[in-house]
Structure 1
Amino acid sequence: MGLIGKLILLLIPVGVAFIYLQLIKTDPIPKLEDAYWGPKSEQGKKEDSSIRPFKVDIQATVLDDLKARLKRELDSDRLVAPLEGVGFEYGFNSKYLKTVGQYWLTKYDWKAREKLLNKYPHFKTNIGGLDIHFQHVKPKAKNGVATRPLLLLHGWPGSIIEFQKIIPLLSEPKNSNYNYELIIPSLPGYGWSSGAARPGLGTVEMANIFKRLMDRLGHKKFYAMGGDWGGFIVSDLASAYPENVLGVLSSLCASNMPISTVKSFLASAIPSLFTTPDEAKHLIPFSETFSFLVRESGYMHIQATKPDTVVGLTQSPLGLAAYILEKFSTWTDRDWISREDGGITQKFQMDELLDNLMVYWVTGSVTTSVRLYSEALIPWSGYNLDKVPTNVPYNCLLGAKDMMTVPRISLVDKFTNLQRFKFVSDAGHFGAMEVPQLFADDAVSFFDSL
């Protein structure tokens, strides 16, 4: 063997070792700044740290305008008929959209739903120049029962509506030595929380805002629970503030570490070698996941690149209904795509679906909400928490019918204290809304154990 051959033999293991070290490389925990996100004209003023009571009370003029728009759209002939024999394969079926619109116009009673929403107290406080809205549910005191603070974070196209059914199950659970004090914010730019006045407010920056909110409420240490964007934000909270977050339950667990991507691919290709039999039966093959995501992720590309272009969603109630409610079909169960009604009332009541839709409509927040895709997927901050592992106790409770599934092996490098990992066979993307009792029981059991 010549000199060149010997050098090649020497360099191969060196190269393999270098690649492996790059794959497992982690970053130190960055120090997040308490940034200002309000208008420049207000910057420099002393922040109002008061906690102000808030009540959901939509003016009659807003509701009258909504009804007028709905009636006009339903009476027109501008809705294009669906292709014959097609369910939701081409998007929200326009025949069923008329059914939804008629229910919204003639049967849905916002003022009655508003009373239900106001059953639990609402508040606002200013953080970083933004008014942050949140529900704050304090359990009734019981002798010998301690209370623990729990932060719950929603995502898109959800809202605080996702957690309304789970509130009584968490705040005073029956089989627990603890009660849970629930803090349920609207994400910045969603619902009744202000949107940022300048670019850069992504999930990491939102994690900082919610850490400041919990500090303001007197909770230096707390538990956290989230799904969709809320799942990414609680992950960022655990990574940036491990001394403050006592434990996390997430219905969307993800790791963007390079080694995690490799492990995920291997587990998808050869599940028998890298997963348990129970995991393997829930993992979607890589080829199927790829084709599914290509079909289902068009909205993401628009929202990550040109979020303000979807301005039509603030003008047309039926347009907003089609855009948002379509996600409650395929994201809840991939097999519902062939149904004319998208299956959306199989697990959800029409009233609660419209409650969630109304949060976007009456606040006009759909544009500011979708900007999060641009800020998170094209980050400005450079904090790079994706490469910061966390040792906070973690529980990944994942919907087996969600858009994609991940194996446990791909998460352990990011969540080094992953204590629980489970697929819920009867749940999709909106777990706490779909099967609230199951999620509440699992959360209480997990948090109690810590």
Structure 2
Amino acid sequence: MPTSEASHFMMLLEILLAVVLGAIIYLFLTKKKEDKLSMGDGWWGKGQKPDSEEDAAIYPFKVETSDGEINYLHRRLDEVRFAEPLEDSRFRYGFNSNYLRKVVAYWRNEFNWKKQVEVLNKFPQFKTKIEGIDVHFLHVKPSHVPEGQSAKPLLMVHGWPGSVYEFYKIIPLLMDPGSHGLSGEHVFEIICPSIPGYGFSEAPHKQGFDSVCAARVFYKLMLRLGFQEFYTQGGDWGSLISTNLAQIAPSHVKGVHLNMATVTTLHFKQLLSITLGRYFPGLFGFEDVDVQRMFPFKTKVLYRILGEGGYFHLHSTKPDTAGCGLNDSPVGLAAYILEKFSTWTNHAFRDLEDGGLEKKFTLDDLLTNVMIYWVSGCIVSSMRFYKENIGKGIGTQKHEKLSVQVPTGIASFPHEVMHMPQSWLQQKYANIVSFSYMTRGGHFAAFEEPELLAADILQFVGKVEKGNFAKKLGYGLL
């Protein structure tokens, strides 16, 4: 090759190498930047955002009721018009109205809302204004912290159709685990906010309030309470909000524990596992339990999604239409909400005359959750949360494409609406330090199996704390 041609070739090669190297550096730096979700800001109050600083005061709150509210509810229950169910339909067509008659009779004649209000008020509750709306939350501190320990702040986030009441049985277990037969190595200070638009938190007045916005609001809440580092836990929407919080503030979230974790996109290997995972589980990182819970895939996943997903499509498209009727009818509201507490607790409960509701819950507990929706009038705004999150398309949002780097614990309950194996979740949660196959329980874990969930949270935090201690020890020796 002539010298001029060789020189020209070397120059082109150098340019090519420079371009490739530049692209690699660019992708590397871009990836580093993308590891954290932009926090952003928002205003969800009525009208324009004022120029003045937002009032950051925190003030006590108590649930209150009146004789007028109870009398109105009783009148509406007296005027109910029932539909006749199909013979032997049980809960396969939805909430069976024969059993609904029993629920309504109990609600009208035996359920004591004033007594349940006292139960709700047994934990300290507060409100504070964040981004223009009042945010309601429980803040429960342990009465006694063993010597040498400090209470660890734990943010617990509910989902739909739940409320902060889901956590009332697990809170004492986490504040004083040693007295409840659990490991006393860690104790917690619990913060349970109501998602804006749910329960006693004010509903956003503007469009666009999604899970990232909720995570940002709760992050601001934790900072306002003085917590620079904290753990977070959730299922259902609480799982996504906790995930987003870990993406927004990874240096502040010490660990995220989820009792429902999902991914919205699957890589080729995961897609292939749908077909071949039953026959070659080890090739796809499946345990025997994964195979048992996922296959046959058509029956246990595909048909389940189709059979249980009608509400999801409705909420994600026209929440206000159905919501108006539910907001007006206490019996319609109860049927709509309690049907989920039947099927999502155990799909097999569809084949029972009473939907299996009283196998896991009391009517007092179930109706207390329904009453939170009724007295606050929040069913429409709670349903809108689906449209805000799903209306832009599944898999299209930035947070869905970012991994979670903070330590993650996952409690996989056998009767969850859909099972996600660890091998699928690892593409989203890059630092899973604990993945537990729970022995029993369904979607409403804290409400249904508080002891099991508390024990798993405790062992997860133990692993994270030991890992952090080992890191500090290692750094100290360097």
- In the aligned structure 2, how far is the partner of 1:284 from the partner of 1:253? 19
Return the alpha-carbon distance in structure 2 between the equivalents of residues 230 and 434 of structure 1. Answer: 16
Q: CA deviation at 1:29?
A: 2.3
- Go from structure 1 to structure 2 and tell me whether the alpha carbon gap of 1:268 and 1:86 turns closer, same or farther (over 3 Å shift): farther
1:86 maps to 89
Residue 246 of structure 1 aligns to a residue whose secondary structure is: strand
Partners of 1:151 and 1:184 within 8 A in 2: yes
2:257 is aligned to: 249
Q: CA deviation at 1:224?
A: 0.5
- 2:308 aligned partner, one-letter code: E
Select 2:44's aligned residue among 37, 40, 45: 37
Provide, for residues 101-128 of structure 1, a one-character-per-residue CA deviation record: whole Å limited to 9, x for no partner: 0000000001111111111100000000
* 1:332 corresponding residue in structure 2: 345
Query: Cα gap change, 1:44/1:448 in structure 2, threshold over 3 Å: closer, same or farther?
Result: same
Residues 329, 343 of structure 1: 8 Å contact kept: yes
**In the alignment, which residue of structure 2 is the partner of 1:10?**
none
Question: Distance in 1 between the 2:36 and 2:103 partners?
Answer: 47
What SS does the corresponding residue of 2:177 show, helix, strand or coil? coil
- The answer as to 2:78 corresponding to 1:71 is yes
1:205 equivalent in alignment to 2:213:
yes
Q: Secondary structure at the match of 1:445?
A: helix
Structure 2 distance, partners of 1:270, 1:241, is 41
Tell me whether 1:48 sits opposite 2:55 in the alignment.
Answer: yes
Q: Does the alignment pair 1:173 with 2:182?
A: no
- Equivalent residue letter for 2:156: L
Residue matched to 2:17: none
Cα distance in 1 for partners of 2:128, 2:273 equals: 41
Question: Secondary structure, in 3 states, of the residue corresponding to 2:188?
Answer: strand
Secondary structure in 2 matching 1:247: strand
| Contact preservation (8 Å) 1:135, 1:183 | yes
Matched residue, 2:320:
308
Answer yes or no: is the 8 Å Cα contact 1:331–1:403 preserved in 2.
yes
Q: Deviations over 1:341-379 (max 9, x none)?
A: 100110011100001000000000000001000001124
The match for 1:384 is 398
Distance in 1, matches of 2:156 and 2:270, equals 28
Q: Is the 8 A contact 1:282 1:423 kept in 2?
A: no
Q: How many residues align?
A: 423
Aligned to 1:6: none
Determine the structure 2 residue equivalent to 1:60: 67
Amino acid in structure 1 at the alignment position of 2:136:
H
Aligned counterpart for 1:159 among listed residues 159, 163, 169: 163
The one-letter amino acid of 1:277's match is D
Q: What secondary structure, in the 3-state scheme, does the structure 1 residue paired with 2:99 have?
A: helix
Query: Alignment partner for residue 278 of structure 1, among 289, 313, 323?
Result: 289
Contact between 2:266 and 2:424, CA under 8 Å: does it hold in 1?
A: no
Give 1:440 shift. Answer: 0.6
Q: 2:231 aligns with which of 184, 207, 223?
A: 223
| Percent identity for Structure 1 against Structure 2 | 40
Match of 1:135 among 135, 138, 145: 138
Counterpart secondary structure, 1:95: helix
Contact 2:37 2:247 in 1 (8 A): no
Q: Which one of 316, 319, 325 corresponds to residue 332 of structure 2?
A: 319
Deviation at 1:62, TM superposition (A): 1.4
Q: Determine the C-alpha separation between the residues in 2 that align with 1:231 and 1:252.
A: 6
Q: What residue is the counterpart of 2:15 in the other structure?
A: none
Equivalent residue letter for 2:297: F
Q: Do 1:267 and 1:407's aligned partners in 2 also have CA atoms closer than 8 Å?
A: no
Q: Deviations over 1:256-284 (max 9, x none)?
A: 24428536635755462320123322334
| Residues 397-406 or 269-278, more deviating | 269-278
Distance 1:383 1:404, change over 3 A: closer
Is the contact between residue 30 and residue 383 of structure 1 (CA under 8 Å) also seen in structure 2? no
Task: Give the match for residue 303 of structure 2.
Answer: 291
Corresponding residue for residue 416 of structure 1 = 430
Cα distance in 2 for partners of 1:33, 1:263 equals 37
Instruction: Tell me the secondary structure at the aligned position of residue 215 of structure 1.
Output: helix
Match of 1:224, as an amino acid?
Answer: T
- Compute the TM-score of the two structures, normalised by the length of structure 1: 0.90
Aligned match of 1:116? 119
Code of the aligned partner of 2:375: V
Q: What CA distance in whole angstroms lies between the structure 2 residues aligned with 1:124 and 1:66?
A: 26
Q: Distance in 2 between matches of 1:188 and 1:45?
A: 22
* Aligned amino acid, residue 238 of structure 2: G
Structure 1 residues 37, 342: CA separation in 2 closer, same or farther (over 3 Å shift)? Answer: same
Cα distance, 1:28 vs structure 2: 4.0
Corresponding residue for residue 351 of structure 1: 364
Whether 1:262 and 2:267 are equivalent positions in the alignment is no
CA positional deviation for 1:42: 5.2
| Alpha-carbon contact 1:139-1:180 (below 8 Å) kept | yes
Point out the structure with max Rg over C-alpha. 2
Residues 215 and 242, structure 2, Cα contact 8 Å, conserved in 1? yes
Which position in structure 1 is the counterpart of 2:472? none
Quote the offset at 1:64 in angstroms: 1.2
Query: Closer, same or farther in 2 for the Cα pair 1:110/1:268, shift >3 Å?
Result: farther
User: Structure 2 regions of 5+ residues with no counterpart?
Assistant: 1-26, 465-478
Decide whether the 8 Å contact of 2:197 with 2:378 is kept in 1.
yes
Moved more, 131-140 or 54-63: 54-63
Report 1:5-16 matches (<5 A). none
**Contact conserved, 1:236 with 1:385, CA < 8 A, in 2?**
yes
Cα distance in 2 for residues equivalent to 1:184 and 1:263: 40
Who is 2:470 aligned against? none
Query: Structure 2 length normalisation: TM-score?
Result: 0.85
Letter in 1 for 2:287: T
Measured in 1, the distance between the counterparts of 2:172 and 2:461 equals: 16
The DSSP-based 3-state class of the residue aligned with 1:335 is helix
Where do 4+ consecutive residues of structure 1 move more than 3 Å?
A: 25-28, 41-45, 266-271
User: Retained in 1: the 8 A contact 2:436–2:456?
Assistant: no
